[in-house]
Every structure is written in C-alpha cells, then in structure tokens.
Structure 1
C-alpha cells in the first residue's frame, strides 16, 4: 500500500518582476505580492502618485498597455513521482490574463473574481529544477469595447463609467464612479501558490439548525475529499470531523468517505454558544476541522474554518404599512443602522489586515450594526468577513453588478455562474453574512430607460429575449446558487427591489432614497417622510478633513480653496458645486475661508443624516415601519470629496458621530414639525408643534428620567418652565413615542432650542437638541464656551493610543456643532456636539498626554 504524505502548500509570493510586454525594458521588482500594475509602477517612479493633484490624467496610459509578470520557482523534490498531483492555484487574476509555465500556455482567464486550479504535474521541471511562470495581461477596457462593439443588438446603458464595463467581469468602480477616479488596473491581485498532494480536503461546510428557543443546535459538517491520482484512497481512508467552541468544548466524529468523496457528521449541541450582532450578545465562534487520514494512518490533509451558530431571518409580513423588511437574529428583531461599503482603495492589494480592522472597528465604535458590501466593488478579502464575524457586524453582500443593463450572452452567463458559486462557497461559513442581493440599482436603471420587465412573466427563457436580459441572472442563476450553496442565507433580487414593484415604493422591500442630494433635492429636514421599509442607501456630501485635502495639494498651492480646479477634480459627483451650494445656502450663512467652508459642508452632512437616522430609528417602534438605514457611504477609495462619513485616511467626519448618537442602544429624540421657509418666504408659522420620543434596542423594559428645556438662542435663558418626567417606562426594542408634546408660539416667544436629556440611575445617557430651522436665521456669536482638558501624565506601557483623558465643555448660550480637529493617533468619544447652558458635557479623549498640543475645535458661528 502506498504511503500518503501530507499536502504541501508553497506560496509563490517572492521574486516577482514585471515589465511592459514585448518591450526591451529590464524586468523590475514588484512593489509587493499580491499586487497590481499601478502599485508596481509607483514603486519605480514610472508614474506619479495617482491620487495627487490631477495625476489621474497622467496615468491613464497604464490601462492601454499590455503587461507581463514573471517569477521563477523550484520544483519540489520527487516532483515527477507517480501518485502526486501538483496544482498551481490562482486566487485572482485581474482581468484578461494568459498564463504560461515553462513556455507552455496553461490558462486563459477573463474574470477578475474567479479562482483557478491548474494541474501542472506534467509541466514542471525535474526534481529541484527551476520553473518560469509568466502571466500576460491585456488592456481590459480595450477588450470590453471589442465585446460591446460586436453586440450592437444589446442596449448598452449604465450610470458611471464607460458602458463597455458591462461586458467585462471586473470591479466596476475601476472604470470611474461619482466618488472615485478612473484607474483600470491589472495584475495578480490575489495569491498564487503551488500545492502538492495525493489527496486533499477540497471543501468543508457546517450547516446549522437552531431550535426556536435557542437551546439546542444541530450542526451538520460535511467535508469533500479530492484524490485525483489515487481513487483507491477513498475506500480505505477516513475523515475526522471536529467542532470546538471558543470555550474549548470539543466534539469529534470519525466519518467514512461516501459516494463522490463526501464525508458527513452531525453534531447535536445543547445550550450552544450563540453568535450575536454586537450590542445584543457575544460573538461566540466554533472552529470546524476536518482531518483526512490515509490508509497507512498518516494525516494527509487538514482544513479548518471558523463559523458561528445563529439563526438569521429576513421578516417580510403584511402589516398596516405594506410589507415589512427587517432582520431577526436568533429570534430577536434587530434594527440595522449602518453603512454601505466600497473598496477601501482603488488599488486593493495594499489594504492591509490592520487597515480592515481599523475600518470595521469604526462600525462598532459608531454603534453601527450592518455593513452592505456594494455591488460595484469586489467580493471582499477573507479577513474582512473574519473581522465581521469577530466584531459582530451583520453583512449585506451584493453580487457584483451595479448601475447598468448587463448583457446575458451564453459565455457571460457561464462566467457569472462560476464566479458567483465560487464566492458563495468561499463565504458560506461566515455567520455575519445574512443577505445576498442580486445587484445594485439595475432595476432602477431598467425603470429609468423603460426596459422590459413583466413581473408576472415567470418564464426565464422569455427574459433572455427582452432588452433587460440580466433579469435571468438576478432571478434565476443567482437565487439557484444561493439556494444550493448559500448555507441558508436569504436572497434578494436586487437593491433596491420589492416584489416587482417600483423601486421607489415605500411599502415593500428596500429603497435607495436619493431625493435629498440627487433627484428632487428635497429639504433634508423631511428625510423621515421620504423613507421606506428598509433604507439601504441615502446620503449627503461633506468635505473631508483639511489634512486630507492637503495630502493631494502641493505645499503653498494656489488651489487651496473650495472652488479650485484641483479640489473640484477630487469630487466626481455630477453637479456637486450646485448641490453643495444649494444645501449650504438654504441652511447656513456662507463663509469664505476654506477651513470654515469645510466645517459648514460637514455640518450640512451631519445635520442631514441626523434627520434621516433619527426619524427612521423612531419608526422602528411603529410596527417595524423602518427596518434599517444604511448611509452611503462609510469609506472612500482615495482622498476625495464624497458622501463618505470617514475619509480615505480614516479621519472621521462629524456625521460619523451624529450617526453614532442616533444609534445608541438608548436614545432620545426631540423635534418640531417642519416648516418650509423658502416656500413661505420666511414667514413663520404662528404656532409649531413639537414631540419627544425615546428609542431602545435593549431587550428589557426599563425606567428613565427625561427633561425637556426651552432655551433662548440669544440669551441662554430658559424661556419656559422645563418639563420633567422622573420615571418613564421605556418599551424594550422599540420606541416610547410622544413622551412630551407641545406647541411653540412663534409670535410671542423668541427663537429658542428644545433640549431633551435622558438619565438612567442618575447618569446622563443621551441628549438631543432641536434648533429652529434654518440655522442661517440665527446669530451664534458670544457663546461663552469653556473647554477644559484633563489629561494623563503618561500612557500605559507601549499603548499611547489607550491613554485616556477627558474634555469638559460648558457654555453660556446654546452652541451648535462643536467639532474637534482630530489628528493621527488621537481620537475622541464624541464630536459635532450641541451644548446648552446649565449642562456639563464630558468627552473622552484617547492618545493625548499632558503637555502635548491640545486639540483645537470649531463651532458654528465661531
């Protein structure tokens, strides 16, 4: 009987070089591996920093060239020995790639999102000999245009980028979007390795069923054995399957190899450790392991995955508002406040694990429960989903189609099937993933151009004959793949989408609400009235930190002002000048200095998102009228001006903190009814109604104290007796609505703020301040602001970032939008704060020591 040795994996990450194909140039060392062409050219100063000034215009030629990558690696010992298989595994090639090993073509690839495993056993050199691996990359846009031009029968239409992008399976944002430049990359963007084995474990999946009372779980673990050179191993080998919890409770089973190479074990767990979203419980995980033991008793291969036990549902039930759309985890309804996510860089290979962690920890610190991986980017790296599992962040994953009428030629359909199945299988063990959506806004584009969509026609063959053939992808291919391999995750045909109704229908499914900023450019003060059952996109632009803008300007640049050509170049949104100006001039007194303008644009963003999050969170308690709100967008892929609430360098905009306050587990809201001052020509209403409410995501009812004050903007004095409720019963996981209501006499009462403060056990847990709109009608000078820093003398050993101090703030008159000028290495617990007299606001500050430069600040009217 043959001896079976353990699978050997050799990463091919070193000695890579590159050059322009067919040129006489020398081979140059790559910047890193994995990599792409722009990173490598930057390393050798062949192109300037693509993000600096207008250098995007100077690097476009890179995408027009053919590029070649090369490495040399030795053959394993006994490389040609019978019974051994040698595989070259390519996790991702971007995009049109031809691969040669020792001069022989072994692979052609035309899909960035597909991985490949090529048997090279007969192509390797003899024992210890050197092997040359070459990869040629063709220009993606050129190839895409050829496909588009060859199919004039298709209606090639998209929003953002060249319409040829629809023909190529490549990250669509590479072709340019309304928040990022045109950087069409190529290269080996994910790992390449050599594997040697006689048999291996090719897959491992754990499927979980949880009883309604959460007291017992059944975990079905299935492993697949691949033995291409020795079919006999399947008859004599065995697989040891084990399940180990974070608390080191282990169960193990030995299984035989069944038909077609599968081994299965079923584990029943009493009182299982459950995985919860953060804020609702712990993120308990289990390690699932399979060991393949050969006939001779040797361990041939081992594979492990981390997974979690949880039950995830999307609740869609008819109710008084239409049909609900919200998430339920382990039987608990979860309000999904969060963000949309784009790739964190135009050149994704340089996004490190540390940077992913920083981004996703922002979600937790900001009380955000869900992140939506947008369909114009990529299926993210494994570490992204690992971190979401660890941190308790729910993931909404789009399939990779965005803002276009995609073709459905047979070769594209086949490629999409492979791409989608591979990635669903790759991701299916993650408890954080709770929904797949078929695309981003493709149904909206279908509506906009009047393309054929007969929801009542359920014959998929008919869909392929229409001018909207991609319906076949979204409503046949993808749901079948998710049903077969998605491990029970819910599938949604698109985002937005709702049972075939108009994508703007507020009664069903999810919606993208862009009539603030885009569309009809409504006042942001009415955001709460514009939402649907789940608001998966909405937003407002805001400038990034001044340091981020300075990063793409030359020192002393004459372009350092808000309307400069270079600053405009870094804002890709159509009509951004007039849209920013509209919302600024409607709401604030304009300023000329650059830093002041940045602050105002950030306040506009902060205020707009406050009205959205605050109002929609309130609706959670109204028969789950709104199941969640995801802001467009959390992050940026370059130093630009966009809707991001945190910029490319992880510098938080004020809106980040505004959202965090709106999503606290226990929050308070106060708001007067909207009055459209521009329609009434600044004539005030004689009387204005106002209301307060309390929001809670806590799973137990509790008692709180609430105080409402009425404070003059001009004098800081109370203009009416405060209202106090010493003991309010707050409902669990919902809204305690209209705790106080009232009416303001706008004729006899001077302009004043409404201030609501919430206490639990004598401690302030939430505040909200409502200001008469618009803010431009009020003066904010002489606020009597006092700021006191209380900082530690030294940091914990080696942990300066954890050194914690505090900032105490008091005012004599109501103050709007106090924003700290954060800097690298220093962070605060709150910013963009409204402060009223008679209260002391304390903010935690981290990474700042006594004697160091204190943080500066800015507030409205400063």
Structure 2
C-alpha cells in the first residue's frame, strides 16, 4: 500500500470565460480534460460544428483568448511533503496562475508539465487555479511575422502553423475542418509526495537465437528515498525480485536475464505476452510510491538490403519477416478529449478484425494517448510513429529547436516501453515540400550546422536532432527521417525507402488498375475517396433538400481539393452514371473498394517475390468528423465496403487471380486481342499448407462456365507467394467472363477471388437472379449469374462477418450476423441492380 503519495485529479468544479470580456457570464465546465468548443457546445453557446455549415459559425472561437478557473483545497501534508501541480497536456499557449502567481507559461501542446506549488498554497482556504489560453491561430500569425528570415511554406492550413507546436490538423486539412481548439486537453492533477518514481523503463534484448534475453530495468527517482523494490513477472510467474539502491543521481538499475523468453509478436505471427514490472519506492518500512508497467520483449529490425529491384524496406520482428499491411491513423476527433478508452479500443479492434497488422500515426496529429499504445500492445498491432511535423518547411530558431527537443524527450520517455512501436519517422511529406519548392538539399553535405542556414533548415531536425534523441532514449527502435523518404534522392523513387503513391487520385490521376505497376518498396500512403454510409450523411445534412450528391453541404463536408472532378473522373472511367444520393454514395464506395483491391492484391503478391513490397498502409483508416474522405471507416465507426475488401486481401491465406491491365481509354475502347492472367496464393503462415485450387471461367451474361475449370493441388509456401497457374484470355474468341478462384484446405473453402473484365461500365448486369435469405444469425446468399459488389447496409449495433461480396453461380456464401439491434431485414444492393 502506498502511504505517502497522494494524487487528486482536478476534473470538476471548473468554469470558462472569455479572457478579455469580464462582462460575459462564466460557463460551467462539465469536466476536465476538455477544450473550449466542447464547453460552449455543452452550454448551448455554439452549434455542433460537425453539422451542416456550422463550422463557419464557430470560427470566432479560435480567434479569442479563453480562461479556465477552479478552486481546490490545500492537500493534507506532513513532514515537509512537496505539492506538485501536474498538467498532462495544455492546448497550446497557456499561462497558469496559482493564487495569482504565475507558475507556468506553456507554448507546446505535446508537452506535459510539473510545477512545485508547495509554497504558494493557502492553508485553511480555497486556492485559486487559473489558466489563460491565447489564440494559437493569432499567435501563429504573429510568430511568422517575427521571423522573416525563414520561408514559411506549407500545404494544408495557413503558414502560421509552422511556428506553433500544436496539432497541425487543427488549422484544417484536406479531410478535416478548421477548428482551432484551446484548453486543458489532458488531465490535471495535484500530487503530494515525499519521494516519487519519475520514470521506469527497460532495455531488454533477445539473443540472436532468441533462446534468452538480457538487459536492464531502470528506475528514476525524485526525493530522498534510497532504495526501490523491483518485481518482474509474466502471467503470475516471478522472473525477477530484488531491492536495488538509488544512486546519487536518482537512478536505480537492475540487471535482468531471462531464459526462453516469451517474445512479443504482431497478431497473426505469434502471441503478445507482456511482462509486468512492479516498482515500489521505499522509505524505510514505508512505500512512498508504486508504479506498474507492461513491457514486451521483441527485436524490431528495418531491413534494407540491396537486391535486383533496388533496396528492400520491410520490418523483421524476432527474426520473422512481416508484411506490414494496414492503414494510416489520424486523430479520431477534432475535439480530442472525446476520444475515450472505449473508442480507442473499438477503432483498433477493427484493425485486428480487418487483418491489418500495422498502423501509422500520422505527423500532423498528436502523439496519441497512452490507451492507444496500450491497446496496440495487447492486440499485437505494429505502430509506425511519426513525429509531429507535416507538409511544411519548418523554421528552426533556437527556442523552437529546444522546444522540439524537449517534446521528443517527453514523448519518447512516455512511449518507449511499448513493444508495438517499431519505427519512428521524422515527419510527414516535408521532403516533398523541399523538392516541390526547390529548397536546399545536398545529400552529400554532412555539415549539420550548415543545414540550419539553408532554405530547408528543418533537415537539421529530421537528420540530426530527432535521430540523436531516439538513439539516446529508444535505442532498439529504428528511426527513419521522413515518410516518404528515399535516403536523399527523389521521395517518389519506387526502388528505395517508402513512398506515398498519390498518382492515383492526386498527381497523374492514373487509373487505379495500375497500382501494381506504380507501387514502391513500402507504400506508406495511397487511397481513393468514398462517401460515408447514408446514416452518416443524413446526420450532418440538416436540410433534406440537400440530400443529393452535388449539394453545397455535401461538398463542404469534403475538404479535398478538386474532389468533384476526381470522384467524377474515377466514376466516369469505371461505372455507369447514377444520380440518386443512395446509389451515388454506393458507387463511390465500390470505386474505393475496387481501388483497394487493385492495390493490396498485387503488392502483397510482390511481398513473396523477393520482398519487392514490404508494406501497404492505406490513407486512411478513420475520420475526425463526419465527411467524405479516403477513410475505410467513417467518423461513427461505420465501415465502408472497402474495409471488407482489404480484410479479405490481408487474410492469413489469400488467393489472387488477375489479368493484365489493358488501358481502354488510350485504345479508344478497343479491346486487347489477348490478355495474360496469373493465379497465385499468398500466406503469412509460418509453415507450409497443403491446398487444392480451383479456377473457373464464368460468363458475365449467362452465369455458365465457358470452358472447363482448372483444378490443381499445391503446397502453399510459408510467409510468401505461391505461383500456381497462368494463362491467356482470348477476347475475340471468348465472351466477357470472370476468372473465379477458390482455395480449399481439408475440403473447406478458405479463400476466394474474382477477376472481372475492366472497365465494369462496359458490362451489362440486369437481373442476376440473386437469392438472399436472412435470419437472426446469418445471411445466406446464392446466385444464378455473377454478382459484383453485393453490399448490405451497415446498421449500428450489428456486426457482419463480411460484406461487399462478388458472387458466382455454384458458390453459395454465408455472412455471420452478430448484434441484438437488428431491426427487420438489412437492405442491400449490387452493381447494376437498378438496370
């Protein structure tokens, strides 16, 4: 039992007012953590910014200064105990006063702070706590003017954001609104103690043969205590138990040796054991403080080896090569205190459900809450962690560099015990800014100080400051200067490093059917937009007359530049026109699903071909508000069809069949005489699997097999690609038909794939004679003619085991249904249903 340390969270009893307007009434604050917008919404002073055009009506909030106040009693102390006021996060320019005395001035949202207020407290009376928040929007503009020696260049938001250490997406992004928040966005504490455990971390490495692990556990102490009791266990079994002394620098160190360690793996590759470290700070017979941390033992390597395609880029965990199929992560709300532990779990559980093994925490958001990484540890989700710089040429005056260094140290120390974090990257797309604006960059210049005098001074942050801090604080996690980055060459280089492949949608606006040809060694961003589900649309469209695809409010809830043209382009290239909101939303979703199909499928095949592709992280998994975007799942956690498509492509064993791409628009719709096709199987299993493969050739019009099926037995190679069979489609001799593949293991179908003639708009569907039978627990589906993209409407509280299905005659499918909120029959549609 901890006898001397007392911690009280200051959650309730706060009020809010405009700092400069003393005539306005104070607003009661429901609870802290909070931001101003949430309190104004709660008090009905502003409308919900997520509905209609309300974002415009609340812009003024971000231009005003705001003050939070509360009162607290002096903690009961004895024997000269110290009292600290602790802020886990202040957004962003904040001055903190206790009983009228300034104890802190903050200018970095990503920092936590601890203030000694022992001598400021009033005994037997209320103590006043006041936090004044300046407008980060206006302060950023002022800072830019104060530093004319720098070129403030950025994409998304305004240039003033570059000098402010605040979540950059708050200035608006091409998927999110402009909502400039302020407030105590993370918890506020009063802590009383004689001695405290400031930090606990470990550096335990497995041996080369993984049969043992050795290293150290470190404990940093503040206060006069001289010893700590350390216990380390796994599943109740004690690994280490000893009392260790604290040295004159406040550090206690214990050596650890573990035989046959239980190694932490990403899900699908092994288990996720977490060792429990318990540390108690001793003051004689008294326990002054106690800390528990969970750590995983694993080795993470970034493998970059010269090969016949350039240089590899993939992750190896505990000696096992891992295909990093997954998605990028943005903050799940514009108002960060609304992201609860439950919401984090629901989001991350979706990744596991969808077979996704990695997420990339994007550099324009935040270093996420502890809960995010705890859940990734538990579920076995690998984390690519960006530092918080995005789409800009950042300035580097000395005070800003010092703030960045403190920010890095603060967050690395908070996060370094998480086995899920396997790579740190310096920024998001800043080297693309350097290239686009022809800023200084000489890859052979190693004079780091000269970088600060160049037109791209942020190179010093990414290639000197941050790798130095990572090497000191997290020596067992690889560091990469940026995403994307090619080692100093063009960031679009497909032969080395990671790449953001935006020549589909952005750039050249290539057809999504060519993803196979334009993928890099690691595809850390790519994507195509789609409307959210209809229930989400109906939630943010106030006037029902605006429920059509081209209304102003629909465009307002899509922040991507040129989205009207780009959505229209991909629909025109691939699908027949439609006009109703429901059918238009559905077609955009099918377009996104098809794009993901043509990306993940060949890239995963390339993984097994000399590790040609090391990973694919779609932009993006989630949304921060209800909108049209690249997300696979919308703000309300309602899945788009592409989520299921990606899930099937990332299954432990997946089959792929694909005919070569023929660019019909260049050839004026003239079909190719012949097209080659290939059939393969990919596996992340670590042992071989015996399987049977079937390939059918099925007429789109009649549903009949136009020639005999191919059947073959094979051994699926572990953690790689098994090429099974290939052939030719004769377009002038054979009617339009589907290549339908299935894989059977022990007589059970475990994987399916269908390859359709492209583009789909040239095909006539009409009545498919589809039969759908639904009961409480499952949906049974059969058809007499091929069906493309059968989608059941997502219903809250109902979980479908699969969706967005392609079906062929003779291959009935079943969708499992979970949830008790299902009211009546699920509605559904498929491509061409309206014909």
Question: TM-score w.r.t. structure 1 length?
Answer: 0.95
Which of the residues 89, 112, 116 maps onto 1:119?
Answer: 116
Contact in 1 for aligned 2:276/2:294 (Cα 8 Å) = yes
Q: Secondary structure at the match of 2:118?
A: coil
Q: Determine the structure 1 residue equivalent to 2:803.
A: 831
**Distance (Å, rounded) in 1 between the aligned partners of 2:118 and 2:667:** 79
**Distance (Å, rounded) in 2 between the aligned partners of 1:270 and 1:250:** 10
Q: Determine the structure 2 residue equivalent to 1:857.
A: 828
**Distance (Å, rounded) in 1 between the aligned partners of 2:748 and 2:3:** 64
Q: Determine the structure 2 residue equivalent to 1:730.
A: 716
Q: Determine the structure 1 residue equivalent to 2:402.
A: 414
Tell me the CA shift for residue 333 of structure 1.
0.5
Q: Determine the structure 1 residue equivalent to 2:156.
A: 160
Q: How does 1:130-149 map to 2 (within 5 A)?
A: 130-149=126-145
Q: Secondary structure at the match of 1:722?
A: strand
**Distance (Å, rounded) in 1 between the aligned partners of 2:9 and 2:821:** 44
Which of the residues 749, 754, 758 maps onto 2:734?
Answer: 749
| Structure 2: gaps of 5 or more residues | none
Q: Structure 1, residues 532-565: CA drift from partner, whole Å, max 9, x if none? A: 11000000000000000111112x5211100000
Q: Determine the structure 2 residue equivalent to 1:86.
A: 83
**Distance (Å, rounded) in 1 between the aligned partners of 2:820 and 2:142:** 57
Tell me the CA shift for residue 29 of structure 1.
1.2
Query: Are residues 1:820 and 2:809 paired?
Result: no
Contact in 2 for aligned 1:206/1:288 (Cα 8 Å) = no
Q: Determine the structure 1 residue equivalent to 2:15.
A: 17
**Distance (Å, rounded) in 1 between the aligned partners of 2:405 and 2:177:** 29
Q: How does 1:455-604 map to 2 (within 5 A)?
A: 455-554=443-542, 557-604=544-591
**Distance (Å, rounded) in 2 between the aligned partners of 1:772 and 1:93:** 55
**Distance (Å, rounded) in 1 between the aligned partners of 2:406 and 2:564:** 43
**Distance (Å, rounded) in 2 between the aligned partners of 1:597 and 1:5:** 64
Q: How does 1:247-646 map to 2 (within 5 A)?
A: 247-294=236-283, 296-554=284-542, 557-646=544-633
Tell me the CA shift for residue 847 of structure 1.
1.1
Contact in 2 for aligned 1:610/1:662 (Cα 8 Å) = yes
Contact in 2 for aligned 1:428/1:487 (Cα 8 Å) = no
Q: Structure 1, residues 107-149: CA drift from partner, whole Å, max 9, x if none? A: 11011011111111110112x4311100000110111101111
Contact in 1 for aligned 2:354/2:643 (Cα 8 Å) = yes
Tell me the CA shift for residue 258 of structure 1.
1.7
Q: Secondary structure at the match of 2:153?
A: coil
Q: Secondary structure at the match of 2:334?
A: coil
**Distance (Å, rounded) in 1 between the aligned partners of 2:405 and 2:491:** 26
Which of the residues 218, 231, 237 maps onto 1:242?
Answer: 231
Contact in 2 for aligned 1:5/1:197 (Cα 8 Å) = no
Which of the residues 4, 7, 12 maps onto 2:5?
Answer: 7
**Distance (Å, rounded) in 2 between the aligned partners of 1:833 and 1:210:** 44
**Distance (Å, rounded) in 1 between the aligned partners of 2:603 and 2:803:** 22
Contact in 1 for aligned 2:641/2:791 (Cα 8 Å) = yes
Tell me the CA shift for residue 77 of structure 1.
2.0
Q: Determine the structure 1 residue equivalent to 2:202.
A: 206
Q: Secondary structure at the match of 1:596?
A: helix
Q: Structure 1, residues 472-530: CA drift from partner, whole Å, max 9, x if none? A: 10011100110000141110000001211110011111000000000000010010111
Which of the residues 667, 670, 678 maps onto 2:657?
Answer: 670
Further displaced range: 270-279 or 641-650 = 270-279
Q: Structure 1, residues 824-862: CA drift from partner, whole Å, max 9, x if none? A: 100101111100001111111111589x40211110001
Q: Determine the structure 1 residue equivalent to 2:76.
A: 77
**Distance (Å, rounded) in 1 between the aligned partners of 2:665 and 2:463:** 45
Q: Secondary structure at the match of 1:558?
A: helix
Contact in 1 for aligned 2:530/2:630 (Cα 8 Å) = yes
**Distance (Å, rounded) in 2 between the aligned partners of 1:251 and 1:460:** 44
Q: Determine the structure 1 residue equivalent to 2:56.
A: 57
Tell me the CA shift for residue 26 of structure 1.
2.2
**Distance (Å, rounded) in 2 between the aligned partners of 1:430 and 1:760:** 37
**Distance (Å, rounded) in 2 between the aligned partners of 1:250 and 1:20:** 55
**Distance (Å, rounded) in 2 between the aligned partners of 1:121 and 1:487:** 37
Q: Determine the structure 1 residue equivalent to 2:92.
A: 95
**Distance (Å, rounded) in 2 between the aligned partners of 1:220 and 1:818:** 55
Tell me the CA shift for residue 5 of structure 1.
5.2
Contact in 2 for aligned 1:5/1:198 (Cα 8 Å) = no
Contact in 1 for aligned 2:232/2:239 (Cα 8 Å) = yes
Q: Secondary structure at the match of 1:259?
A: coil
Structure 1 pair 854/654, CA: closer, same or farther in 2 (3 Å)? same
Q: Determine the structure 1 residue equivalent to 2:103.
A: 106
Aligned residues: 831
Q: Secondary structure at the match of 2:110?
A: coil
**Distance (Å, rounded) in 2 between the aligned partners of 1:750 and 1:353:** 54
Q: Secondary structure at the match of 2:360?
A: strand
Q: Determine the structure 2 residue equivalent to 1:788.
A: 773
Contact in 1 for aligned 2:233/2:277 (Cα 8 Å) = yes
Tell me the CA shift for residue 606 of structure 1.
0.2
Which of the residues 751, 765, 772 maps onto 1:766?
Answer: 751
Further displaced range: 216-225 or 534-543 = 216-225
Contact in 1 for aligned 2:740/2:754 (Cα 8 Å) = yes
Q: Determine the structure 1 residue equivalent to 2:168.
A: 172
Q: Determine the structure 1 residue equivalent to 2:691.
A: 704
Q: Secondary structure at the match of 1:719?
A: strand
Structure 1 pair 468/849, CA: closer, same or farther in 2 (3 Å)? closer
**Distance (Å, rounded) in 1 between the aligned partners of 2:449 and 2:261:** 45
**How large is the RMSD of aligned CA atoms in angstroms?**
1.1
Q: Deviation above 3 Å: which 4+ runs of structure 1?
A: 247-250
Structure 1 pair 849/442, CA: closer, same or farther in 2 (3 Å)? closer
| Structure 1: gaps of 5 or more residues | 228-232, 792-804
Q: Determine the structure 2 residue equivalent to 1:777.
A: 762
**Distance (Å, rounded) in 1 between the aligned partners of 2:694 and 2:236:** 44
Further displaced range: 585-594 or 238-247 = 238-247
Contact in 2 for aligned 1:274/1:309 (Cα 8 Å) = yes
**Distance (Å, rounded) in 1 between the aligned partners of 2:204 and 2:699:** 58
**Distance (Å, rounded) in 1 between the aligned partners of 2:258 and 2:775:** 51
Contact in 2 for aligned 1:72/1:131 (Cα 8 Å) = yes
Q: Structure 1, residues 130-179: CA drift from partner, whole Å, max 9, x if none? A: 11100000110111101111222211110000011001000000000000
Contact in 2 for aligned 1:816/1:835 (Cα 8 Å) = yes
Contact in 2 for aligned 1:545/1:651 (Cα 8 Å) = yes
Structure 1 pair 84/849, CA: closer, same or farther in 2 (3 Å)? closer
Contact in 1 for aligned 2:12/2:29 (Cα 8 Å) = no
**Distance (Å, rounded) in 2 between the aligned partners of 1:680 and 1:36:** 56
Tell me the CA shift for residue 702 of structure 1.
1.3
Contact in 2 for aligned 1:31/1:39 (Cα 8 Å) = no
Q: Determine the structure 2 residue equivalent to 1:719.
A: 706
Tell me the CA shift for residue 250 of structure 1.
4.1
Tell me the CA shift for residue 668 of structure 1.
0.2
Contact in 1 for aligned 2:204/2:256 (Cα 8 Å) = no
Tell me the CA shift for residue 74 of structure 1.
0.2
Question: TM-score w.r.t. structure 2 length?
Answer: 0.98
